[in-house]
Structure 1
């Protein structure tokens, strides 16, 4: 198993870099004019095409052929949850602000810490959990200055929070599978399943797959390369070396990066609570990652 070997790079650093890449997801999505399901489908479709040569190498094909039974069901289920996550979260950006959407969708540690303890027996010390709670508190502060109750904004908030539930299950299933599969065969199987489900959802909704403006295709490709391969795929790599909650809590940094980018690109000005919350999130993530790494080193 790969997690018994020394990783080629520090997995905690990789997680931090992946969060920076994921922060671009809401920006590229907002810039595209296509419907949410179409954006989600092409995001996964382009990603699948890019990673296919690596996943379908001789060793990759052999590994994929060996996947069967419970592991195959788990991988397909992870793909379904990833498809539901992208559908609900991308749709939420049509109804609420980037800050609100990213804050709510990154609340998945609420689900991960509970489900990880129940199903994967993942445990953390008090100091580590304090860091997680601090980061979570910062997320609430970021959102408090932006949440708008009622009408379309409330629907957007509900969709974003649903996305947090779906991504939590995706990460938990991935933590177990990444101990058995190498990176590219795993993500090829999961991303392929997600793309297939998103295609079915799109066709059932009678949404056309084309034509769309040339710039939209650029944003589809950017979504595949930066937040999906540079973000989600790197996070999947790290799952073999770190606990699910390490990745989950680190992603609480996404609202900070997304809010900064939203200000620079769309002029969405963060309020004082959002700025304070950003500092609290960064402090909490630093405390969490530092203590989690020390706990792993002592084992």
Structure 2
């Protein structure tokens, strides 16, 4: 079944919501493990009433198979690893560089989609993918630093990109038979548990943070996760991982715009050119893939 235009509208809304991630992480004065923990923990708490309050969701949760539980928990592990690595990368490299690298998910998703789901891509879609990636590289090029800590941060972001693609592939498989709320609560809840264990291992404090940090953590949970990540989980029932991963390249655009208004960062001519190139690539990819589906 060909996805509706509403699916694409929801997709771009989720991309913009996700664009707030790097901004909130920068505003939150907390260690990466704690930031990641509260992002998923608060998101789970926000969704929990919908799980408990609806009879069909409760019945579904009770009737889950061991395989569904296993895949749900595995998705939580992938998500926990992704956020720890990405938030850690922001401690060592710039917002632009880290965001650009972590959104290079199409490189993983197109290969995985072909091998795991026999997904086919037209030449136009492949061209659109590489055009959009080039646009991301144009935006972040001046921030790439092949030295010491910055290089380490870039490597962490690249690994995080591969891991989040694995998370979406699990979701693409599980969401065929599992509702959005059940899948999200299991994934976010198990991820929060993994992150809590990791934070305890590092002996990080779970409290004693400023009010600004708590607001930033709540923003991460509600805006970036519920309105961003959770909508992606919902769309996995109709859209492939490759389409969602491609669209996430637009996160770079949203982050640049938000950084201009919130962090007083200037949008350079180079970044403006990169934004236009990304939009051209995304449009080419999505149009070509919609025609072939």
TM, length-normalised to structure 2: 0.95
Q: 1:272 aligns with which of 269, 272, 278?
A: 269
- Equivalent positions of 1:6-155 (< 5 A) are 10-56=6-52, 57-155=54-152
Residue in 1 aligned with 2:250?
253
TM-fit CA distance, 1:60 = 0.8
User: How far 1:263 moved relative to its partner?
Assistant: 2.4
Structure 1 residue 5, shift from structure 2 partner: 10
Tell me how far apart the structure 1 counterparts of residues 280 and 220 of structure 2 sit (CA, whole Å): 28
Structure 2 counterpart of 1:221: 218
Deviation at 1:78, TM superposition (A): 0.9
Q: Distance in 1 between matches of 2:219 and 2:268?
A: 29
Q: Does 1:208 align with 2:205?
A: yes
CA distance change for structure 1 residues 243 and 5 in 2, over 3 Å: closer, same or farther?
closer
Residue of structure 2 equivalent to 1:244? 241
Contact 1:128 1:292 in 2 (8 A): yes
The equivalent position to 2:189 in structure 1, one of 189, 192, 207, is 192
Distance in 1 of aligned mates of 2:181 and 2:231: 11
Q: Deviations over 1:226-282 (max 9, x none)?
A: 010100001111110111111000000111110121222223334433222111111
Match of 1:179 in 2: 176
Tell me the TM-score normalized by structure 1: 0.93
Could you say which residue in structure 1 is the equivalent of 2:159? 162
Distance verdict in 2 for CA 1:41–1:60, change over 3 Å: same
SS at match of 1:51: helix
Taking the aligned partners of 2:272 and 2:157, their CA distance within structure 1 comes to: 21
Q: Where in structure 1 are there 5+ consecutive unaligned residues?
A: none
**Alpha-carbon distance between aligned partners in 1 of 2:257 and 2:145, rounded to the nearest angstrom:** 20
Paired residue secondary structure (2:239): coil
Structure 1 stretch 50-59 or stretch 242-251: which is displaced more? 50-59
Q: Distance in 2 between matches of 1:182 and 1:154?
A: 40
CA deviation profile, 1:117-169 (whole Å, cap 9, x unmatched): 11121212222222112111211222212111212211211111111011010
Aligned length: 292
